[in-house]
Structure formats: structure tokens, C-alpha cells
Amino acid sequence: MLIKPNRLMPGDTVATVSPSWGGAGEEGLRWRYEQGAERLRDVFGLNVVAMPNSLKGEQYVYDHPEARADDLMQAFQDDSIKAIIANIGGSDSIRLLPYIDFDVIRDNPKIVMGYSDVTIAHLFCLKAGVSSFYGPAIMTDFAENIEMDSYTVEHIKRTLFSNEAIGQIDPAKEWTSERLEWDIFNKHTRRNMQPNKGYELLQGSGTVSGRLIGGCISVLEFAKGTAIWPEPSYWEDSILFFETSEEMPDPTSMVYWFRNYAAQGILQKANGIIVGKPQNEAFYDAYKTAIKTVMKEYGLEHVPILYNLNFGHTEPKIVLPYGARAEIDCEKMTFAILESGVV
């Protein structure tokens, strides 16, 4: 069982960090960061503090992984900070690993949220025995043009501000992955939304439950064979969650990755799998074929797989707490989180 952090309350202080890409500190993008921080204040009633190295710009942040790690460690150790939210993802937060003190995380459990390359930070927390939250980031979801999506706001409040069971997670009615340049002149332009077709059941029957573990499937590749790759026992009794990145990997990569999880025995340990909507719905059908191919190769066609959930590289999105018990109902094609994410 992972340690659950304390819930957020209006008036609490949240730290923003750049564990990977340092774009939040770039002159032409700073407005985007400020817009996201403003939403934390206005929509959720939170105080916001940027950690010392997080806004020093792309080059500095890239050159100094130890400074990024120091921001994380300081945020954990500061009793006035109740949550840590990533500005955005990137591709190299695995470089923070030598500078992480897992005892600091374990002794100071608090909310950590982000997605994509922030998967690595979630594995830091998992290694320390603390639950964290695969969910929105400052420069994407919080800084959405015009206003935050109400679906995202609802799921942040349900997951981070309440110690009640999160409950059933209905599909978003609409979605977007439209790329609109982060130019301040686009600030008042709303992105185009498309109707969402809802969840799809790829295979399986009945109702299963398990503890959530996963992340961005391409980022998880960085962690394999390292000190933060979860021990075999972590995968037991699990609901795996996987999603792809903005790089929109070839479906062949999905085959290779899933074969690796089968070769490790991870797919065999899982009670079920949920898969996030691919960005732009790229390779939407090809990914389904790739996943089902591997499950058939390993005789795992009975494992329930629910597809096209609203998490990861799509907006709006839900929040997935690592270690929380979740449920897939194959007959009703529903997904629920059966407990709270916080205490």
C-alpha cells in the first residue's frame, strides 16, 4: 500500500517545478506559465510558488538536472508546500535520478502531479512508497486558452480536494489535441473540440479491480533496468494504465513494448488494462490491433482492456492516483476509482 498524501484545501500553497523541459522560463512562453499559475489561484483558491530553478529557461534547466532535482527535494522538505505540480513534460527527467533522496519523499508525502515525462517523477514517488497523480500540467491543461475545461476541473477537485471515493469516471463528451501555437496573440482563441466516442472494450468479460500503475509507455522505457523500475510485487493485483506521447510512436513500437511487458511477466500479473486516447487519435485502430496481437500471442485474451480513456496527451483529462484501487466493468464498459486519492 502506498502512502496517500493529504488533500488540498483552498488557501494551500502549491509549488510549480520543471523536472524536464524548461520552457516555462522562456521569454516568449512565460505568459503561458503565468496563465496556468493564475488558474491555480482563481479556479482552485491556491497560493502558487515557483521553485527557484524552474523558471531559469530552457538551456539552464537542460544543463542542470541537479538543480531540477534540488527544486523537487526542496519542495518536499518545505512544510508550507502541500502539492507539487509540473509545468510540463519533456524527455530527460531520468537524468534527475542520481540526485533524488527517496527518504525525503517518503518522510514528506505530498501531492505530485503531471503527465508524459513526469512519469519518471511518479516512479520516484513509487520507489519511496508514496502515491502520486498522473494528471494535468501547468502549461497545458491549467493554461488552456480562454478557460480550463470543466471536465478537467471536476476531476482535479474530485481527486485532490476530496477524501471521498473518487467513483465512476465517465468519458469526456468532447476532446481536442489541436496544436495551436503558444503565442500570446492566440491567447483568446479557443481550440476546436471534437465529439468523443467514449470507451471501447478491446477484450475481456466480467468485472475486475486492481491498483493503478503505469504512465506514458514510451517514457517508461527510460526507467527499465534502473533503481526506480517497480519491483515485481508492484505489478501484482494491478490495473495497468498506458498512453502514448505527442511523438505518436509507430504501432510496431507498441507491439515491441507490450511484448516486453509480457516477457517480464507484468501483463500476466495485471487484472486489467486501461489505455489513454492517443494524441490526435493517431494510429487509433492500429494501436488496438497491436495490443490485441500481443495479448493473443501470450494467451492473455481474457484480461479486460478498456481503450480510449481521457488521460495523458489529450484534453480534457482525468487524474489517476498511483496505487488506488480501480475497477473495469466489461459489461457496462465503465471505469471507476473505488477509493480516495488523498486523506
**Model confidence pLDDT, tens digit, residues 38-80:** 999 999 999 999 999 999 999 999 999 999 999 999 999 999 9
Kindly state the cell numbers that stand for 243: 498512453
Q: Which CATH class is domain 13-164?
A: alpha beta
Amino acid at residue number 316: P
**Residue 99 CB: number of other CB atoms within 10 A?**
14
Q: Is the peptide bond prior to 316 cis by the omega test (within 30 degrees of 0)? A: yes
Domain ranges of the chain: 13-164, 168-337
Q: How far apart are CA 166 and CA 149, in angstroms?
A: 19
* Residue 108 DSSP one-character state: S
Q: How far apart are CA 320 and CA 194, in angstroms?
A: 23
What are the distances in angstroms from CA 220 to CA 75, 84, 228, 297?
A: 24, 21, 10, 22
pLDDT in the model for residue 149:
98
Q: How far apart are CA 278 and CA 250, in angstroms?
A: 12
- Chain segment 141-165, per-residue pLDDT in tens: 999 999 999 999 999 999 999 999 9
**Whole-number average pLDDT of the chain:** 98
- Does domain 168-337 sit in CATH 1.10.357.10? no
Amino acid at residue number 78: D
Average pLDDT over residues 292-311: 98
* Residue 240 DSSP one-character state: E
Instruction: Name beta bridge partners: 210.
Output: 326
For residue 335, the surrounding DSSP H or E stretch is: strand 334-337
Q: How many residues does the chain have?
A: 343
For residue 329, the surrounding DSSP H or E stretch is: strand 325-329
pTM: 0.98
- Chain segment 172-226, per-residue pLDDT in tens: 999 999 999 999 999 999 999 999 999 999 999 999 999 999 999 999 999 999 9
Strand stretches in 155-257, DSSP E: 167-168, 174-175, 194-195, 200-203, 207-216, 238-243
pLDDT in the model for residue 331:
98
- Chain segment 78-97, per-residue pLDDT in tens: 999 999 999 999 999 999 99
Kindly state the cell numbers that stand for 121: 517523477
Q: How far apart are CA 89 and CA 35, in angstroms?
A: 17
Confidence of residue 266 (pLDDT cuts 50, 70, 90): very high
CA angle in degrees (0–180, nearest 5) for 28-219-88: 25
Instruction: Name beta bridge partners: 50.
Output: 16
Q: Is the dihedral of CA 143, 341, 222, 273 positive or negative?
A: negative
Kindly state the cell numbers that stand for 184: 500570446
pLDDT in the model for residue 114:
98
